[in-house]
Structure 1
Amino acid sequence: MRRILTVAAFVAIGIAPGSVSAQEASVAPTINQNFKSADLDVEGWATRFTGESREAFNARHAVVKAMALKTGDAVADVGAGTGIYTRLFAQAVGPSGKVYANDIAPQFLAYIAQNAAKDGLKNVQTVQGGDRATNLPAASVDVVFHSDVYHHFEFPAVMNADIRRALKPDGRLFVLELAKTGGQTGHVRAPKEAVIAEIEKSGFRLVEQVNVPGLRDNYLLHFRKS
């Protein structure tokens, strides 16, 4: 019987008590309220995530190509939602690779697991995260990716440190984020320059802003664990 495994273990994030990160206050206390609801409308969100006007969806193939994943890579899709990128990553890394679909909403993870089983993708493993940790195993992945998720981190310093913990030495981090321009992007907390500064402060170095065809309202940043 085909099984998609769910990791339930909660791992320590390796931040010393009393440190700045450990004391970090929430920067957006209600930002994830909808995703914590017991009656989360998964199908409704799936439709929204795949809308024709959503750039992160329309440019998904170009984004994955730009990441240059290798056969056998272990990839974490943090804030995976309904698994738009999870599926593409699983195909890109092949049967010898592994994809962790990571989200705070168990309903999204169940949806991803169901679709992965339907598609015969045995290299997908779901991991439920929380506000302060991904709960990914330490030094377990070559690449971490998140799409329009950074502004959903209530505790960005803590989460950046936890992502660093989950990456292997010299691991790569790709951040696809909506540019803060006012108007429709009022929910986006920080401009690109602040995002870069926060992530670099957490032990990463910026490699480049990746030029991806089809991205105008979003940007893709490539970091390495330092």
Structure 2
Amino acid sequence: MAFSSPRALLFAATLSLLGFAACQAPEKSVKPGINKPFLEATAEDIQVFVGIFEGESREIAAASDGIMAALNIQPGMEIADLGAGTGLYEPLFQKAVGDDGRVYAVDLSPAMIDHLNQRVADENLDRVTVVECSATNCGLENDSVDLIYICDTYHHFEYPQTSLRSIYRALRSGGTLAIVDFERIEGVSRPWIMNHMRAGKDVFRAEIEAAGFEFIEEPMVDGLNENYLLLFRRP
């Protein structure tokens, strides 16, 4: 289409800019306030969370050996624990990556960040780097990690599309995205899960695939009953 006047050119440029702005409109929160307890947590609150998150009654604590086997972390890998919380998996991840690897413990809660830094110091986790993220950005450099582990945290993403774009950029080509989260099944899942979770596994998988990730598999992990593990690859 040809434009014969400056006014027509200006009109076309304006339309183009408006279209670009519409495409760049900020994503709306899918569950406003879900992270408020963590964002406003105190040091005393964190100690309560330690008991909840790291007790053997929690599936992902009891099933940690099976989850680690399914992740197949190799020495020298650089990996991120996105939503690291109290740091339950950080000692396991440090051991798995070995002397030449690196672990990034990522969280958005200031109190959790303080706790993670203290844990790193107290337990000599010298290959663990603590990273503070935001609700829309994972806080990692582009093409910086081989695996991103997101455990019982994806359902806390207020802005999943924006967050997934950030995660996609952070993963190297061929890198793995591992999602552990709660099964949400009507008539099967506990009422707390049904109320807390905005969606179930099929919806989350569709969101992640729509962001460009390729589904690999759903490994069966002994001890996971209320939770599932999904593995994806960045092409």
Q: Normalising by structure 2, report the TM-score.
A: 0.85
Match of 1:35 in 2: 38
Within 5 A, what are the aligned runs for 1:1-226?
A: 18-19=22-23, 22-37=25-40, 39=42, 41-181=45-185, 182=189, 183-185=191-193, 186-226=195-235
Larger Rg: 2
More helix by share: 2
| RMSD of aligned residue pairs (Cα, Å) | 1.5
The structure-2 alpha-carbon separation of the partners of 1:69 and 1:24, relative to structure 1 and needing over 3 Å to count, comes to same
Larger RCO, structure (CA 8 Å, separation 6 or more): 1
- Residue 95 of structure 2 aligns to a residue whose secondary structure is helix
Native 8 Å contact 2:143 2:172 kept in 1 = yes
> More displaced, 87-96 or 139-148?
87-96
Contact 1:113/1:124 (<8 A) preserved: no
Secondary structure of the structure 2 residue equivalent to 1:100 = strand
User: Aligned partners of 1:122, 1:73: CA distance in 2, in Å?
Assistant: 15
**Contact conserved, 1:143 with 1:171, CA < 8 A, in 2?**
yes
After alignment, is 53-62 or 24-33 more displaced? 53-62
Q: Distance in 2 between matches of 1:176 and 1:57?
A: 12
- Tell me the TM-score normalised to structure 1 length: 0.88
Gaps of 5+ in 1: 1-15
Structure 2: runs of 5+ lacking an equivalent: 1-19
User: Structure 2: how far apart are the matches of 1:213 and 1:31?
Assistant: 29
Aligned partner of residue 171 in structure 1, secondary structure = strand
How far residue 115 of structure 1 moved from its aligned partner, in angstroms, is 1.8
State the identity %. Answer: 38
